Amino acid sequence: MPLILSVLKLNPVLVVAYLVGVVAIATPITLALNYTDRQSLRELESQAAILASQALRRNEQITDQVYQAVQEMEAASLQDPCSPQAMERMIRASMRASRLQAVGYVENNRLLCSSLGFHGAGLDVGTAEYVSPGGLAVRSDRRLPYDDKSLFRISASVKSGYTAIVHTDNAFDIVDNDAEFGVGLIGLGNMRPISQVGIWKPEWARRLGQAHRLSFYDGDYVVALERSSRYAYFTYAAIPGQRLQGSWKSQAMWLVPLGVAAGLILGFSVYLVTRQQLGLPAQLRSALRRGELYLLYQPIIHLASGQWVGAEALLRWRRPDGEHVSPAVFIPMAERTQLIGRITAHVLDRVAHEAGALLRARPDFFISVNFASTDLHDPALFEQLEDVVRRHGIRPACVHIEATERTFIDAAGTREHIQRIRGLGHQVVIDDFGTGYSSLSYLTQLEVDGLKIDKSFVDTIGTDAVTSHVVSHIIAMARSLKLLMVAEGVETEAQAAYLRERGVQLAQGWLFARPMRIDALQAQLVVAKGSAQA
């Protein structure tokens, strides 16, 4: 798994966040789909149950009328079942019965006469497939010469031969014939269809058991069965299950991609927030270990000559996914979480390794390293500074320390540390001068080598901002104390000219150069030196 992640260059936090997001969205969607699935199953089941119930009512009504007609004929106790008298009764019986097409007489599998007339030698109706416990011999789906398109159910009394004829459709015209529905009447005696339209599966009958009514989904069809309480049969209705999957699928078609997209967005937000809020110190720690921190060097220029005399080492953090985190974010956080000491130690080490050769070759050049508040009170760092410089054969004067001004609240304690660093041969300048506790008295007490005029003041040069006069006060103050002045964030020629005219020695800013890799700095210095010699 870690191998896959590293091959795909995936951040495990991001992967977990994505998974959380996808699960968070997919779960309710799946539940909702599952719910609608069960909901539509329930709907189809009740549709099927209604059909089975309607079919049962209709068939019971037909059976009632069949018995009524047969009994009526039998009650007349006629000698000849096909006499004109008998046939007149047949006509009356069939006219009264709304569901019967005809009433007749069957003997030896032949319909000899009916309310439709004499049938000569008789119409062959074949043997009955089913004999009901009530004594009706039932012949299903028979054709009669009067209408060759229709099928009829012919139910004859075993005892008397009197017969009722019913159009098969009459029994099941509750459902649309075109649909792939199944509906039918099943005899309890042999569990086979007495008559039916559409699909029928024998295994459905076995499910009924002793139940009065039942509905289920067999994977293909939603089926409902209902047993008659008066006759030895039950009806069924079957609705194809594609209708179920159809509704499920059509919803899933747009719900699932929508959910996954929402999950990804949610996951990414969770990832961003988690990274910002919770994981940053831990990630910075592992960034240190994994070498995600690197240095850029921003040249510092001698304003009078335009020559590059030094460079400030500025830390950068590039995550494995390519995203940069600003030092304005991670440096204050490192200060709060006591990580800054390790970071400064790392910077000292990198500077010595990367710029050692340059500083040995150019002893007049310097690199500025930023020290945070607590670094100035950290004896281990002083030892490292001394050690690193010595081991790499670097002149201490080639490494400047920029101390942030907000550190100097305890002026007396800080003074001692600054003097110790200066005692090693380094220059100490106050960074971001003018933004914190800057005052003339601090400057005199601390005995530093110089100050960096903060970009916010340089920005006001040539404008009518209320603070625009501050820069001239800072310059006057620094000059009176004979301090080195470095102007930060110089972006225009006008700012450079103003600073130059007032005796500010050094400047740093995009006007001259942006922060760059050590090899770019080295290459530029070689070119500059070459052109100076020429």
* 327-336 vs 280-290: helix crossing angle, rounded to 10: 100
Nearer to ligand C2E, 44 or 311 (CB): 311
Question: Which range in 11-19, 299-307, 332-340, 402-410 contacts Mg ion by CB under 5 A?
Answer: 402-410
Check binding of 298 to ligand C2E (CB under 6 A).
Answer: yes
Check binding of 515 to ligand C2E (CB under 6 A).
Answer: yes
Least distance CB 6 / ligand C2E (angstroms): 28
Q: In this chain, which of 491, 502, 517, 520 binds ligand C2E, going by CB under 6 A?
A: 491
Q: In this chain, which of 402, 504, 508, 509 binds Mg ion, going by CB under 5 A?
A: 402
Q: How many CB atoms lie within 10 A of CB 508?
A: 24
DSSP string, 79-147: S-TTSHHHHHHHHHHHHH-TT-SEEEEEETTEEEEETTEEEEEEEE----SEE-TTSEEEEEEEEETTE
* β-bridge partners, 195: 185
Q: In this chain, which of 38, 469, 510, 523 binds ligand C2E, going by CB under 6 A?
A: 510
Vertex 267: Cα angle to 265 and 268 (nearest 5): 65
Q: In this chain, which of 111, 138, 372, 403 binds ligand C2E, going by CB under 6 A?
A: 372
Three-state SS for 531?
Answer: helix
Check binding of 97 to ligand C2E (CB under 6 A).
Answer: no
Question: Which range in 176-184, 307-315, 348-356, 497-505 contacts ligand C2E by CB under 6 A?
Answer: 307-315
Q: In sequence order, which ranges of 404-483 are alpha helices (DSSP H)?
A: 411-423, 440-446, 455-458, 470-480
Contacts with Mg ion in 477-496 (CB under 5 A)? 488
Is the distance from CB of 283 to CB of 272 less than 8 angstroms? no
Q: Tell which residue, 474, 477, 407, has the closest CA to residue 434.
A: 474
Which stretches does DSSP call E strand in 29-116? Answer: 102-107, 110-114
Contacts with ligand C2E in 451-490 (CB under 6 A)? 455, 488-490
Q: In this chain, which of 226, 375, 405, 432 binds Mg ion, going by CB under 5 A?
A: 432
Rounded to an integer, what distance in angstroms lies between the CA atom of residue 95 and that of residue 78?
A: 20
Rounded to an integer, what distance in angstroms lies between the CA atom of residue 258 and that of residue 27?
A: 13
Q: In this chain, which of 13, 15, 20, 314 binds ligand C2E, going by CB under 6 A?
A: 314
Least distance CB 280 / ligand C2E (angstroms): 15
Least distance CB 432 / Mg ion (angstroms): 4
- Chain positions contacting Mg ion, by CB under 5 A: 370, 402, 431-432, 488
Binding interface with ligand C2E (CB under 6 A): 298, 313-315, 326-328, 331, 344, 347, 370, 372, 402, 431-432, 455, 488-491, 508-510, 515
